Structure 1
């Protein structure tokens, strides 16, 4: 028989149990809450880039300022042979640069086939902020840069000129297939960066000198919104590195963000975008693709086609490199 006293007693126990469960759930949620701000970027040259970006993020600054400042570091470093100054030239011995930037509102700017300017990402930002366009290319991009205070600089270093002459003398044919065993010799390792600041604003940037000894005039995925980079401030952002043609054919970064919109984690979304390439591109084994992704909440992840893709992470809890899982390692 259920008396008033027994009902109250059981109800009290039940409520206490619910309360305890609620507290436990809240505690678990707190532990699982991603850490903000956070910045992630591709490859080991992302480490010093992240440090520069963190100076802004740690001071409660805007993530757009952070990603621009971050990727300018490898753009100016001649030791980073796939970005900016000191980048490997094309088949004609010209250093041609591609870059883009995108903010949390969906505003974007990019430059393609830009020569003589060390910091194409900053030109891309001005395209976003000062023109009605998204992309400027070639001589038009150069003219715009010069009109906005940038100066012409010699981007081909002595070392890169020697390597180009050696390549030309050997009459080696250009191949878009990545040299998996020796990526240092002929690589195309873009610096892509994503950051979310303390206010939850997520922005991204991407900059590269492109494939080593590429055909003169070639433009890769890096300056193409939706391919090399895509940001949706309500969901998250994604960026790519590797064989740009494969990323362009599948609109990889946009695809990653759409997978995230449909509920996937950043890492799982990157994996699914790689699987799309595996499904659509017959000779995918001869290429490398790496995707990084960052959610609005600060959760991050990555995935690559080949083993060996490292990405740099910095937040209040971790600073360093992480190796992404790879599709071919799973087979």
Structure 2
């Protein structure tokens, strides 16, 4: 995790300029507990792998102005990253040795879609978008999600673990002990939230879930209001960490509602962490973090423990920032 605790100094974006009329200006806000910065457009993603995801999302937003396309295409980069063991089919499997994936996507007008416990689909985030746009439902899971993917023309991937996941799975089978451990690459998700220059919001979230979980387990990432929530009237939030702890407090919805009541994004994230700590036993074994943006372009982040960081992209630069934390 040492790389996740590093801070990268701001660098100028190398992606194309925004389309005419889309360039936003950073401004200072001296109120509240936020850091005083506001940006439009703004893209935030969880963890260091969010840097590459944000690069792609910013490119898509700059070239097309499509906010939903940006948050979809951005996290697809992570879904394909063979070095990442917490997202995509290369992620660590469940205790049966099978990689099962969860994902969700949401627009600020309330449109949303998600998939859970889905197998053999390279890009569950794109399947979640299909659920949002092509069905009357919000969530499809398991075999139903897989059949829908086939109907929509998604190719089925061979059900075979990546070399690294296979190696680690075989090592785990020597003891077959299931114990979530904080700050390791078995519950790291990628959540992305984005604010356009026009004030519209969108978000995405995708994961392979906890390593060596029970077959059939679904975490917070595909649950609207837990791993992701977006509302154009207020803002957006996403979560990462032990999914069960986040589900218990409807973490992302809680943050958006706190912002609706007047909390800054930073204050809302901090309250969500306090609530999570109060509602979960064995907190020594739990890490969770939250990201939030409000409709003005202010943002915040907070986690249970040290080690959570997030990627930030805006018109003036991009950086990786270490989140503040409670314990």
TM-score (norm 2): 0.87
Give the whole-Å Cα distance in 1 for the aligned partners of 2:222 and 2:187. Answer: 14
* Structure whose alpha-carbon radius of gyration is higher: 1
Does 2:76 match 1:72?
Answer: yes
Greater shift, 280-289 or 134-143, is seen at 280-289
Are 2:125 and 1:94 equivalent residues in the alignment? no
1:48 matched to 2:52? The reply is: yes
Show structure 1 runs of 5+ residues with no match. 1-28
In structure 2, the partner of 1:322 is: 321
Matched residue, 2:167: 162
Mapping 1:129-278, distance limit 5 Å: 129-154=133-158, 156-168=161-173, 170-175=174-179, 177-180=180-183, 183-184=184-185, 187-278=186-277
Larger deviation: 250-259 or 54-63? Answer: 54-63
Cα separation, 2, equivalents of 1:153 and 1:294: 35
1:325 Cα deviation from its structure 2 partner: 0.5
Q: CA separation in 1, counterparts of 2:58 and 2:292?
A: 18
Task: Give 1:60 shift.
Answer: 5.7
**Aligned residue-pair number:** 294
CA deviation profile, 1:40-76 (whole Å, cap 9, x unmatched):
0000000000000001222361211110010000001
Residue by residue over 1:247-276, the C-alpha shift from the partner in whole angstroms, topping out at 9 and shown as x without a partner, is: 001100000001111111111100000000
Taking the aligned partners of 1:80 and 1:203, their CA distance within structure 2 comes to 24
Deviation by residue 1:205-249 (Cα, 9 ceiling, x = unmatched)? 000000011111110000000000011111001000000000001
Matches of 1:97 and 1:128, distance apart in 2: 17
> Contact 2:233–2:295 (CA<8 Å) still a contact in 1?
yes
CA-based RMSD of the aligned residues comes to 1.4
Tell whether the 8 Å contact from 2:39 to 2:297 is kept in structure 1 after alignment.
yes
Deviation track 1:80-136 (CA, whole Å, cap 9, x = no partner) reads 110003100000000000000000101110000000001000000000000000000
What is the TM-score with the length of structure 1 in the denominator?
0.86
Whole-Å separation in 2 of the counterparts to 1:30 and 1:86: 41
| Distance (whole Å) between structure 1 residues aligned to residue 27 and residue 231 of structure 2 | 25
1:132-173 per-position Cα deviation (integer Å, ceiling 9, x unaligned): 0000000100010111110011362122112111211x1232
The answer to whether the 8 A contact 2:27-2:39 is kept is no
Say which structure, 1 or 2, has more relative contact order (CA 8 Å, 6+ apart).
2
User: Is the deviation greater in 57-66 or in 244-253?
Assistant: 57-66
Q: What's 2:3 paired with?
A: none
Distance (whole Å) between structure 1 residues aligned to residue 27 and residue 299 of structure 2: 17
Where do 1:116-135 residues align within 5 Å? 116-135=120-139
SS across alignment from 1:59? helix
Q: Secondary structure at the match of 1:58?
A: helix
2:8 paired residue number: none
1:114 aligns with 2:118: yes
Equivalent in the alignment of 1:104: 108
The equivalent residue for 2:18 is none
Deviations 1:269-298 (A, max 9, x none): 000000001222232222000000011121
